């Protein structure tokens, strides 16, 4: 199949192909501040996902697949490793609101940004939430619907609200 045939086929499927990296992004994906988003080779981002770096950066490693309707806010910077699987409806939020000033509206209180680092070969289950300041080690799994507010060591399965270690995985 020639390059022009591939492009024609992908256009019919309503996706955008980044030729240099061979990243595939569905047309309904929102990539705000796209100069701050780095897509490595063979990244796939599915429909209705929103990625907003908010003047920081979002780096997505090679071979990573991001499911439908994910929200990734990169205020503090986000790095996602190679060959990760991020299921639908996952939220990755590198931002935290302060709420220490009583009597002041929440949206008028200060923001904190620590950043998020997700290692290689990490699987994040559907509807999980990864909060600011978290690092997830290589080869780890986050169960569906979990809220991760503390870092996860490599080769670990976590699940729950808040996420807790369920078991160690074979490296």
Inter-residue contact 136 to 163 (CB < 8 Å): no
Inter-residue contact 63 to 82 (CB < 8 Å): yes
Inter-residue contact 154 to 148 (CB < 8 Å): no
Q: Phi and psi at residue 134, in whole multiples of 5°? A: -85, 140
Rounded Cα–Cα distance for residues 37 and 6 (Å)? 24
Query: Could you confirm whether 54 is annotated as catalytic?
Result: no
**Sequence-distant (≥ 6) Cβ neighbours of residue 103 within 8 angstroms:** none
* Residues with catalytic function: 97
């Amino acid at each position: 199949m020639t390059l022009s045939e591939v492009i024609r086929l992908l256009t019919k499927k309503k996706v955008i192909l980044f030729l240099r990296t061979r990243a595939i992004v569905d047309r309904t994906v929102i990539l705000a501040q796209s100069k701050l988003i780095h897509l490595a080779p063979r990244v796939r981002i599915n429909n209705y996902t929103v990625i907003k770096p908010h003047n920081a950066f979002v780096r997505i490693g090679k071979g990573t697949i991001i499911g439908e309707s994910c929200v990734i806010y990169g205020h503090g910077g986000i790095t996602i490793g190679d060959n990760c699987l991020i299921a639908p409806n996952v939220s990755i939020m590198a931002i935290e609101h302060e709420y220490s000033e009583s009597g002041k509206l929440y949206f008028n209180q200060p923001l904190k940004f620590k950043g998020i680092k997700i290692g290689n070969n990490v699987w994040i289950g559907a509807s999980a939430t990864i909060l600011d300041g978290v690092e997830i080690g290589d080869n780890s799994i986050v169960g569906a619907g979990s809220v991760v507010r503390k870092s996860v060591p490599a080769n670990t399965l976590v699940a729950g609200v808040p996420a807790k270690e369920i078991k160690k995985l074979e490296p």
